[in-house]
Every structure is written in structure tokens, then in C-alpha cells.
Structure 1
Amino acid sequence: MSLNTNIIPPKLKDKLEKQQYRIAGNHSAVKICTWLKHALKGEGFCYKQQFYGIASHRCLQCTPATIWCNLKCVFCWRSASWYNKELMRGKVDKPEYIIDQMIEHQRRLIAGFKNHPKVEPRLYEEAYNPKHAAISLSGEPTFYPLLPELIQEFHNRDMTTFLVTNGTNPEMLKKLDPLPTQLYVTLIAPTEESFKKTARPSFSNLWNKVMETIELLPSLNTRKVIRLTLVDENYNLVEPEAFAELFLRSEAHFLEVKGFMSVGDARKRLPYEIMPRYPKILEFSKKIIENTELKIIDSKEDSAVTLIAKEDYNWRKNLGE
């Protein structure tokens, strides 16, 4: 019988649950997004709904690798002290079980909205049956060895998938079949120097791994997004032309340029005052597209985010169909 080392320790599990995470099985988790609550009450929605058509109230924000990550990004709202930097090896939970657990936990988390005066019964019923999985909550999901099977199982349930990766595990991206509905690669910095300062990698070769992922992306036949989470000029809000060059080399469809949010453990590492507001993000976005064929095709001011692409594709928002 193999020893299961892929378990969240009990004390950490208790801490996570106090932060409104719900642990699915031994190593996975789900948490209700603030935008899901807003959307249920008719008080706004996530920028991903505006950009891509994803219904915020039907989104399952989840991860199969809650405490496994090889980076300690300064802007991350999770605690770097949680993370196990090694790949998940040995026994892991099966995808079907994980997803059943995630959906059950999500249903319990939204139960209080059932008779809420601001929530339409139709919206609650839709939220009860999530339509979209955002595999992005915590940790690095590509560390979960059954990720291809997890994505397949979501698709078997007629759910769309967003996979968010830090780009340091191209070996797993090569194994994905099917690919996620939309693949996000968080490009933490434009150069190796700024990457080391901002991402604080656990291993010396991780910038090279990110570059491998950039070179791999053109061969992956799915919707692709490069995502920037920007801090300030002392970290990664630098060299816009280098960001543009890497984006163009990746042949991704979209480039999201977003300011970090001063929430969670990010508040312990970075002063609130340096959080870039929308005007600064817009200004930096304009520098990225300067002297290129790129253009800003959308933006959401309250999320301090812009969307850049070569063109505004007519299929961009069809994920809600």
C-alpha cells in the first residue's frame, strides 16, 4: 500500500477553512469568488464575464494542488509559507471524486443565497449547477499528475475550463489532451532578473522553463492568454517592449494586463500605496502596444485590467453560449 504524502496537514486545513476554503479530498480545494456573490445579487460581475462571456455566478474557482507551488510571488494573495515546492508524487485523489467534492462544497457555500431578497431564484438554480471551472484558486495546478484526466472529466460534465499556470511546468502542458477551453500563462516578469525578484523561484532553472512554455504555446490548439500581474517599477512593471516581444512569440490570442490586488498575504509583502490603479495599467498597456500591430480591445476599470490582442475576434465572448 503506497503512503499518501499528498495531504494538506490538519492545522493548515483548519486555517484554510477559516479563510472560507473548502478542502476537497486530500489536496484539492474550492472557494467562492467575491464576484460570484456580487453576480448572484445583481451587483456586478468578474472581468472574465465581460472579456470572454463566462457567467460569474456559475464559476467553480478551484485547484487540485492547493499547497503545491514552486514560486513565491510577491503579489500572491496566498501565504508562501503554505507551499510545498516539489511535484506531487505517489497517490493522489481521482478526478471524478475531486469534482464531486468541489461541486458539493460549492453548493453548501452558496446555500445561504437561496432565499436572499436580492437573488433571483433562476440565478441561484444556475449557480447550483456550475458551468465553468477556473482551475486557478491556489498552488500550481500542473503539479497534479492527473490534470489531463481532470480537464477531461470537467468536459464530460459539459463544463468549460480555464487553466491558469505559472508556465514552469511545460512537461505537463505537453501531456494535456484535451486541452483546457482556455489556457492562461501568467508571465510574471519580462526578464530573468525581474522574474527572480518578483517570483522568488524555488529553483534556478524556472525562468528557462517559462521560456520553454512560451515556445510551446504556438503548438497548443486552444484559446490562449498571457496574463501580467503588475506591481511597480521595482518589480515587474518594467520593459513593456520585452513583454510585447514575449507575447508575440507565444502566439497567444490575448494579453491581459492587470494590477496586483492588495488583498490576503500580498498586504504583508507590499504596501497598499503601490497597488497600480487603472490609469497606470492603461498607460503601461499603451507602452506595450507601441510600435506593434497590437491594440487594446477591452478593459474593466474597477479591476484595473486591460485586454490586448491583434484584433477583437468575433468568437471572444462565446464561452457563455
Structure 2
Amino acid sequence: MSIEWSEVKRRREEFWNSSPVYRAIYDRLVKQGYHLIGTIGAVKRCHWSKEAVLRNRYCYKCLWYGIESHRCIQMTPVAAWCWNRCLHCWRLQPEDIGMHWDDTRPPVVDDPEVLVEESIRVHREIMAGFKGNPRADQRLVEEALNPKHAAISLTGEPLLYPRLGELIEEYHRRGITTFLVTHGTRPDVLGSLEVEPSQLYISIEAWDKDSYEHFNRPLVPRAWELFNETLGLIPSFKSPTVFRFTIVKGFNDHDVALRSFAGFVEKAQPSYIEVKAYMHIGGSRGRLFKNNMPSHGEVRNVAARLAELTGYQVLSESIPSRIVLLSRVGKPLRHGKGCPDGVEHPEKYAPPLTEEYEELQD
């Protein structure tokens, strides 16, 4: 396929200028550091890509799964569309700009090859900005120009992109591994993927239907039931699977919630559990408070309780990201060559610099 990039740019500009609502979304996304790709996809530089080249510090995906932070593309195929309006999410939501759009149905379906090629190009342009920076490790900058991993998450719900299997396949064809993150409201899409991601994440905050309705604020009927259908699909995946429990202090850090989380684990038997603190960033700052962010010590306590309830082993942690890893299968499968002994020695690759949550300042 020969891509006419001038035509891709023209279509993107035409779409985002087609209504005052879309223009307002576009302006806010750009101000927040997003780079639009295709028509409605986006790439954004991760905090840890910068940390890798400037300070040789790496994210937890490097510590545990070998992902080289500076070579990781953080992208989404649908920047402003999702079936939930979660309180903790940094996704731009209608209430954030006082305007309405149908955020349940992406109005455009971009070609997977366009999204993949442009995401690679934009990642290279972002990381090339560190060339000549005296504080940057220029060897790592050169490596960053050859990305090896794509995190299909960032913002929005990737399962709303109808050509997701093709997108994953396009990345794999280029030797780029993929981590897919979803809230699991589209079991029909997940169960029919032509190609599995290298690793699948299910993001979880609520423990029952009432808490789901309150916190995740679904925009479609039966979202809680659809999430539970997704749990039933997890054992069928050949790739590693992860339950990421985002802990919001004062909401889901109590024993009733943790016992329900353990029930989800028992039903689905994911390979790993990640227990991670909520981050007070983006649009969530208008919905939650900074004191809803648990300390790393509090995350450790939740992880220890989940280990008791599930039988999973506490393997590792990353203090700067306030996250703890539990595993059912021992040491995690590695998808790259980064941080080779990061599980055993996270302090070598992610030494804490501050008591604050680093991403808040980025």
C-alpha cells in the first residue's frame, strides 16, 4: 500500500474542522501533548520515554516484561471515544469542555497501515527531539528511532476500533510487540480478534454493578454484564493476560472490593495482577481529589491482601509508578531485552527521585 501522506493530513484537518465540537476536542488534545495520527488516532510521548534517554530510568513494563521504554509507542486508534466515562480517566470527556459528542461511536475508521506507519513516524520525530541534548544518552536516542513496542491504550477504548486485529497484525509484521489495554465492554470484539496482542490487559476499578454504575459511568446498557462476559474469555487467550486493579483511595481499597476482585481472578485466572495507584491527572482532576491517590505503602498493603485472597505471588514493585506485580505463573514472560533483572532489582532501573507521583509533573 502506497500512502499519500498529504491526503491523510488533509482528511484529518477536514474532519477536526468539520464542527466546533471536534475543533474544541482537537485543540484540547494538542494542548495536552497528543499528536493526531490517521484521522482520529493519537500518539503521546510517555513520561518514561523521556526518563530513559535523560536519566536511564525505566517504567515497570521494562522491569517486568523487558519493554524498552524509549522504544515504546504510546498510541490509541480512537482518541476521544469510549463506552465509559470513568471518574479516574484522563480521557477528554464532554463535561470537560462543556460540549456534547457521541463518544460511544467513532465516526471514522482509519486504515490500520496508516495508523501504524504514522505512529512510528511520530514516535521517531518526538524522540529525535533529544538529539543534541547534552543530558540525553545519544545511544538510547538512536535506539528510540527504531521502536520495538506499541502500547495500544493511551486514551479511549481501543475495542471500539473495528479493525483492531489488523492493527495488531500490522505492528507484529514490523517486529513490534503490542500490549492492548481495555475495560472489557466489547467481548464480541475481543473474542473475535484475528490476531492476539503480545499481552492483554483488563483494567478494573469497580467490584459490583452499583460501584460500576457510579464510578465507570457506562454509556451503554449492560456494560457490567459485558465486562463479566469478558472475564469468561480470558482463559481462552494464549498470550499473557493481566488484571490491572487501579486503586482509588477511599473507593475500592476496602475488603469488600478486594474480595470481589479476588473472585474475578478466580474466574479468569489471568497470568498476572498489577495493583496500581490512581493518578490525579488530566480530566480526572475535576472528578476526584489528589488525596484519592494512595501512597506506595498503601498500594503494597492492597497487593499483599490480594495475594492472600488469590494465592498469587508478590513478585516485584516500581515505587515511582506506585505499582506492585503479582503472578500466577512465576517470573513474567519477557517481550524485549530491557531491564534484564528488573523483577529482582527494580531499584537499579527505576530508583525513586521524589515522594511525589512523577507523572503529575510531566
Q: 1:45 Cα deviation (Å)?
A: 1.2
Deviation, structure 1 residue 118: 2.0
* CA distance in 2: counterparts of 1:292 and 1:153, whole angstroms: 36
**Match of 1:36?**
49
Check if 1:77 corresponds to 2:90: yes
1:10 positional shift: 2.8
Per-residue deviation, residues 34-93 of structure 1 (Å, max 9, x unmatched): 11000011241111111211000000000001111011111112222277432336x522
Could you tell me which amino acid in structure 2 is paired with residue 64 of structure 1?
P
Deviation (angstroms), 1:11: 3.0
Equivalent in the alignment of 2:274: 256
Amino-acid identity (%): 37
Q: Distance in 2 between matches of 1:7 and 1:176?
A: 28
Instruction: Please name the residue that 2:61 is paired with.
Output: 48
Amino acid at match of 1:236: N
SS in structure 2 of the partner of residue 68 of structure 1: coil
Partner residue of 2:253?
237
**2:163 pairs with 1:143:** no
Q: 1:87 to 1:12 in 2, by over 3 A?
A: closer
- What displacement does 1:7 show? 4.6
User: For 1:276 and 1:215, how far apart are their aligned partners in 2?
Assistant: 30
Partner of 2:175: 158
**CA distance change for structure 1 residues 262 and 60 in 2, over 3 Å: closer, same or farther?**
same
- Determine the C-alpha separation between the residues in 2 that align with 1:75 and 1:43: 29
Read off the aligned partner of 2:225 and give its amino acid letter: N
SS at match of 1:183: strand
Normalising to structure 2: TM-score of the pair? 0.82
Do structure 1's residue 181 and structure 2's residue 202 form an aligned pair? no
Contact 2:242–2:273 at 8 Å: present in 1 too? yes
Equivalent position amino acid for 1:56 in 2: S
Within 5 Å, give how 1:49-68 maps onto structure 2. Answer: 49-68=62-81
Q: How far apart, in 2, do the equivalents of 1:257 and 1:267 lie?
A: 21
Which residue identity is paired with 1:99?
A: V
Deviation at 1:237, TM superposition (A): 2.4
SS of 1:194 mapped into structure 2: helix
Q: Following the alignment from structure 1 to structure 2, what is the Cα–Cα distance between the partners of residues 84 and 50?
A: 39
CA distance in 2, matches of 1:85, 1:205: 17
Instruction: Check whether the contact 1:227–1:255 (CA below 8 A) recurs between aligned residues.
Output: yes
Q: Which letter maps to 1:294?
A: Y
User: How far apart in 2 are the matches of 1:60 and 1:151?
Assistant: 13
Letter of the structure 1 residue corresponding to residue 42 of structure 2? A
Deviations 1:92-142 (A, max 9, x none): 221111111112222222222011112222211111111100001110001
1:162-217 CA-to-partner distances (Å, cap 9, x unmatched) read 00011000111112121000000112212112111211111231000000000011
The aligned residue for residue 350 of structure 2 is: none
Q: Is the 8 A contact 1:170 1:216 kept in 2?
A: yes
Q: Which runs of 5+ in 2 are unaligned?
A: 1-10, 17-21, 339-362
Question: Any gaps of 5 or more consecutive residues in structure 1?
Answer: none
Which amino acid in structure 2 is aligned with residue 72 of structure 1? Answer: R
**In 2, are the aligned partners of 1:69 and 1:139 still within 8 Å (CA)?**
yes
Q: Which residue of 2 aligns with 1:303?
A: 321
Q: What is residue 292 of structure 2 aligned with on the other side?
A: 274
Per-residue deviation, residues 255-314 of structure 1 (Å, max 9, x unmatched): 11111011122222111122101111111111112244222111111211111122423x
Matched residue SS, 1:302: coil
One-letter identity of the residue aligned with 2:203: T
Is 1:211 matched with 2:211?
no
Aligned CA distance change for structure 1 residues 183 and 292 (closer, same or farther; 3 Å):
closer
Q: Which runs of 4+ in 1 moved over 6 A?
A: none
Deviation at 1:145? 0.6
Structure 2 contact 179–201 (Cα < 8 Å) conserved: yes
CA distance in 2, matches of 1:293, 1:92: 42
